[in-house]
């Protein structure tokens, strides 16, 4: 529970909230890519693609829109959803089943670069949270009282 409180307190800070909005914009752009794939304006026809790509497009479109909306509104559940989506929909499948998603060296390089970007974005988020650790909001201390409140 301390981790949850630490994250909840951390996302209240202005710099972290701005960063979450940047991530939300990136997720919305990712949703546009998946939507373009589904309606057929990004490459080949969607119906001719393998079933796992069609399922991934549908799932990622939904996840990107829902989590992006939550991150834009700086919701705790969206942070949890973003981290879980990175782990379950990017890191685990792409690391353990690389051959399933990338059939040639160029596609492998693209996947590894995408994973590096994802890891970097997640790392910056946790660095922002660590930077807020010593503040009064995240340490659980109440802010200093004004002179009028003491009387």
Single pTM value for the model:
0.81
Q: How many domains is the chain partitioned into structurally?
A: 1
Contact between 34 and 57 (Cβ < 8 Å)? yes
Three-state DSSP at 104 gives coil
C-alpha 90/C-alpha 84 separation (Å) is 9
pLDDT digits (tens, 9 = 90+) for 95-123: 898 888 888 899 899 999 999 999 999 99
Residue 101 structure tokens: 């998603």
| Inside any domain, residue 67 | yes
Residue 90 structure tokens: 């990017």
| Inside any domain, residue 143 | no
Q: Cα torsion at 118, 121, 127, 131 (round to 10°)?
A: -160
Question: Measured in whole angstroms, how far is the alpha carbon of residue 22 from the centre of its chain?
Answer: 10
| Inside any domain, residue 147 | no
| Inside any domain, residue 65 | yes
pLDDT digits (tens, 9 = 90+) for 29-82: 999 999 998 998 877 788 888 888 889 899 999 999 999 999 999 999 999 999
Q: By residue range, what is the domain housing residue 120? A: 2-136
Q: What's the pLDDT at 151?
A: 42
| Inside any domain, residue 48 | yes
């Amino acid at each position: 529970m301390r981790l949850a409180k630490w994250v909840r307190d951390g996302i209240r800070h202005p710099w972290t909230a701005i960063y979450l909005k940047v991530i939300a914009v990136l997720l919305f752009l990712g949703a546009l890519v998946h939507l373009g794939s589904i309606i057929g304006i990004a490459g080949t026809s969607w119906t001719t693609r393998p079933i796992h790509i069609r399922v991934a497009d549908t799932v990622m479109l939904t996840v990107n829109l829902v989590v992006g909306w939550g991150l834009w509104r700086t919701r705790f559940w969206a942070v949890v959803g973003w981290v879980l989506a990175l782990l379950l929909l990017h890191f685990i499948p792409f690391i353990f089943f690389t051959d399933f998603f990338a059939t040639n060296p160029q596609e492998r390089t693209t996947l590894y670069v995408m994973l590096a970007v994802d890891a970097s974005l997640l790392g910056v988020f946790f660095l922002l949270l660590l930077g807020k650790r010593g503040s009064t909001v995240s340490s659980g201390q109440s802010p200093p009282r004004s002179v009028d409140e003491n009387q």
